[in-house]
Amino acid sequence: MPEVQVHETIASFRAALDAVRREGASVGFVPTMGYLHDGHASLMRAASADCDVAVASIFVNPLQFAANEDLSTYPRDLERDLALADAAGVTHVLHPSVDEMYPGGPVLTTVSVAEITERFEGAARPTHFAGVATVVAKLFSIVGPCRSYFGEKDFQQLAVVRRMAADLSMPVEVIGCPIVREPDGLAMSSRNVYLSAEQRAAAPVLHRSMLAAAELAAAGERSVAAVEAVVADAVAAEPEAELDYASLVDAAALAPASAVGGEQRLLVAARFGRTRLLDNLAVTTPA
Ligand code: AMP
């Protein structure tokens, strides 16, 4: 049986973490929507390696889903999640109901981050990042001073959370962790379970084509369009996939690149049937 303590209420989770800090221990926090996989576990292992106490939340946040999205079908398996969190060194999990997080219906107070939310995922999902920023702000306020771990898998989300924490002087150090992949290169995601066998077989095209694009950049290609076209062409040649975007951006500001060079990131989103997959890769070349 996992030893991890599960808190259904904000008050009980907050009290447990306040007690931890009173003992002089540091807190590492990993927010998740559950249906955990090794990508989540890597964040939890990083939190428990860096901090005295590692804690997590499991909450499928309705605010970050649009009406036509998969809120009601989002995969869930609490028992399995608790065993995985426990094995990764987590000692306390907040698992609140929607009513516990949002009593009294719609929230009147939301957090929105400008500019870096406008493109890419923000363009495809216009209400998504306000939903993410609001729930993460709320979770940071519940958890209190901590280090908090986010995956580079959701690269734009990481930038949004970093910026929010800095702009609002939240007492949280935001730490980005590398993408964990399946052996064939597909980035782990709770939503991979939606893929049919054919879509699953096709999905590694994203990582494979990004590697080829990064190689082209490393070989001296300076045209952004040429680098992005490596991904766009490979995805176009894959009947199971439809590209949403393949964009080379500045890794810090997420502004579209005008030339290849420096610390950049290739961001990709593509649909496989009704499932949208995200991936990204560092592209670092002499400026
Ligand atoms: P989610 O449960 O999808 O909201 O994800 C919770 C956290 O896990 C976010 O910070 C994600 O970026 C991170 N994450 C999800 N998949 C991966 C992965 N394959 N590698 C690393 N981090 C991940």
Mean of per-residue pLDDT scores for the chain:
97
Buried b (16+ CB within 10 A) or exposed e, 223-253: ebeebbbbbbebbeebebbebbbbbbbebee
Residues with CB under 6 A from ligand 1: 32-33, 39-40, 42-43, 150-151, 153-154, 177, 179-180, 187-190
Q: What's the mean pLDDT in 46-74?
A: 97
Percent of the chain at pLDDT above 70?
99
CA of 151 to the centre of ligand 1 (A): 5
Torsions phi, psi for 75 (to 5 deg): -65, 145
Give 262-276 pLDDT, tens digit per residue: 999 999 999 999 999
Give 79-88 pLDDT, tens digit per residue: 999 999 999 9
**Positions marked active-site:** 40
Q: What's the mean pLDDT in 16-38?
A: 98
pLDDT of residue 208: 98
Atom of ligand 1 at shortest distance to CA of 187? Answer: 19
C-alpha distance across the termini of the chain, in Å:
53
* Substitution site in 43, 80, 179 for ligand 1 pocket (most atoms within 8 Å of beta carbon): 43
pLDDT of residue 1: 59
Task: Using the predicted structure, report yes or no on whether residue 2 has a pLDDT greater than 90.
Answer: no
By C-alpha distance, which of 169, 166, 68, 64 is closest to 110? 64
Give 72-130 pLDDT, tens digit per residue: 999 999 999 999 999 999 999 999 999 999 998 789 999 999 999 999 999 999 999 99
CA of 40 to the centre of ligand 1 (A): 5
pLDDT of residue 105: 79
CA of 58 to the centre of ligand 1 (A): 12
Q: Which residues pair with 31 in a beta bridge?
A: 57
CA of 44 to the centre of ligand 1 (A): 11
Amino acid at 136: V
pLDDT of residue 281: 98
Whose alpha carbon is nearest atom 18 of ligand 1? 39
Global pTM exceeds 0.85 = yes
DSSP characters over 129-182: HHHHHHHHHHHHHHH-SEEEEEEGGGHHHHHHHHHHHHHTT-SEEEEEEPPPB-
Task: Using the predicted structure, report yes or no on whether residue 15 has a pLDDT greater than 70.
Answer: yes
Give 167-194 pLDDT, tens digit per residue: 999 999 999 999 999 999 999 999 999 9
